[in-house]
Structure 1
């Protein structure tokens, strides 16, 4: 296992370098350039030259890339062009805990609801319960997060007043866990909806195949309780598609919550990405793009490791 992990990490290095080159080239080729929104039209040419010299914008593109990737390896993502003098790393670290909290809550909620629903649906296929879960899953996949978020804000936030309509905490109120949870409930549910729907379908399909296997019939013939047969013997072998989905969900810790964070005014990484895109804050965009690529690689690696843990038949 250890040699396999090392090989995967070494293979990821050229992949990340390629992603960084493509991302850097695309952002540099964007119309307007980083100075388009920053410079006063009345700025003198010598002041403009000083500005470009300060940020290295007049260097050849390959020189800019080498400087940027070299600094990034050291943990220096540069400084924001909009918030002048503010390090990009500081902007990211200030918002990362909020995104991690939101994504962890939505992921846990999705698994706690979807996996049992998928199993119960697989245990009673083609029944009213199965059809109800299937229709609910299709609705969850088809419902846009932004529409669901707006409807929840209008109904539960404005009309009923049960939950706050935005933010991560109540202003001018001392910190409390209940206050954070109160603000977290609606965005976490909205973000978990699509994942719940997909996980339920994957779990149902996988468990239906598993429950038809010979070793399940053997376990039942030996007199094991149905609960033990399904949850102990069947679920472990039915987890492979679920683990795959979990690996694909990890990159969402960076950008998957962007729309939800904007709707609920949640100060996270996704909202930072959208704000930086509109303001053409290129150092922030490039840093978040590379970090997202790193999470994709980590997600695939974690999924491969979990395969071997939950299914002993898989060897590396």
Structure 2
């Protein structure tokens, strides 16, 4: 297991290195001059050249990347071109807010998606099964922005149950209760597609698990069906479920960008949207790198959990 973890950590570093190269090169291809954007339309050619030299943007591309990578290793994420603040001071609080939103959506995915898939598998080809899979197929096909507009229209504008923007009430910011009230709608909207995917996969692997020989033997020995389903069959189906949940975390981190913009959630996605429109390259680079970091860490954790759950995987990884 130690060797497996070392290999996975090495591959994680290579993935992040590749992401840093890709993001750096893409930023060089973005039209427009970030220095001119930072100084404004009245900037002179001399002032633009001076700022470019100060930021190292007049150096060869390879040297710029080496300097950028060296700064990353030392924890230096450069300075925002539009806000004149260290990128770390801007990105870290926003990343925390995005993780809160993604975690809330993930809880909804697990609480609804896994039980729905299990119950559909135990009632294979029944009306409940067909209805659940139809709803999951519809959920997987729903555009995120459309779902956001629907929930805002119904639960905020028509019923007036929940707020539509921010993390806390601007007039009387509260504690955890206020945060949860503001979290419900964006988290539920972000969870629609991943919940549908998790439900469909859970149903598929549970159908296969319930047809195993040892499950038939348990039934023949009179073990209660509830215990067979939730204790024995679900345990065998957990490894692929854990894998798909890890992949859906990556979807959530990408999908919440639209959610944060629509619901004015002060997270990294909303900040990335603002930075893209203003061509603030240091924040864009840092934001993409942090999303990639969270994604690979979550999938590393998922792989470890799968190895602990499945003896065959533990033997394969050593």
258-267 vs 299-308, which moves further: 299-308
Q: Would the aligned equivalents of 1:236 and 1:311 in 2 still touch at CA under 8 Å?
A: no
**SS of the residue 2:43 aligns to:** coil
How far is the alpha carbon of 1:250 from its aligned partner? Answer: 3.1
**SS of the residue 2:33 aligns to:** coil
How far is the alpha carbon of 1:175 from its aligned partner? Answer: 2.2
| CA offset digits 1:41-64 (Å, max 9, x no partner) | 332222112211222111111111
Distance, in Å, in 2 between the alignment partners of 1:16 and 1:303 is 18
Change (3 A) 1:161 1:277: same
Residue number in structure 1 paired with 2:19: 19
How far is the alpha carbon of 1:294 from its aligned partner? Answer: 2.1
Change (3 A) 1:51 1:7: same
Change (3 A) 1:142 1:15: closer
How far is the alpha carbon of 1:281 from its aligned partner? Answer: 0.6
Residue number in structure 2 paired with 1:279: 278
| CA offset digits 1:259-306 (Å, max 9, x no partner) | 011110001011111111111110011112222222332233222211
Residue number in structure 2 paired with 1:78: 78
How far is the alpha carbon of 1:97 from its aligned partner? Answer: 2.2
Change (3 A) 1:143 1:251: closer
Change (3 A) 1:41 1:96: closer
Q: Would the aligned equivalents of 1:88 and 1:284 in 2 still touch at CA under 8 Å?
A: yes
**SS of the residue 1:107 aligns to:** helix
Q: Would the aligned equivalents of 2:194 and 2:251 in 1 still touch at CA under 8 Å?
A: no
Q: Would the aligned equivalents of 1:102 and 1:187 in 2 still touch at CA under 8 Å?
A: yes
Distance, in Å, in 2 between the alignment partners of 1:14 and 1:174 is 43
Q: Are 2:244 and 1:245 equivalent residues in the alignment?
A: yes
**SS of the residue 2:169 aligns to:** coil
Distance, in Å, in 1 between the alignment partners of 2:11 and 2:99 is 27
Distance, in Å, in 1 between the alignment partners of 2:270 and 2:25 is 23
Residue number in structure 1 paired with 2:114: 115
Q: Would the aligned equivalents of 1:255 and 1:273 in 2 still touch at CA under 8 Å?
A: no
Gaps of 5+ in 1: none
How far is the alpha carbon of 1:36 from its aligned partner? Answer: 4.2
Q: Size of the alignment, in residue pairs?
A: 315
Please identify runs of 4+ aligned residues in structure 1 that moved more than 6 A. none
**SS of the residue 2:37 aligns to:** coil
How far is the alpha carbon of 1:206 from its aligned partner? Answer: 0.4
Considering fraction of residues, name the structure with more helix. 2
Q: Would the aligned equivalents of 2:246 and 2:299 in 1 still touch at CA under 8 Å?
A: yes
Change (3 A) 1:252 1:270: farther
Gaps of 5+ in 2: none
Residue number in structure 1 paired with 2:41: 41
Residue number in structure 2 paired with 1:222: 221
Residue number in structure 2 paired with 1:188: 187
Distance, in Å, in 1 between the alignment partners of 2:237 and 2:283 is 40
How far is the alpha carbon of 1:252 from its aligned partner? Answer: 4.5
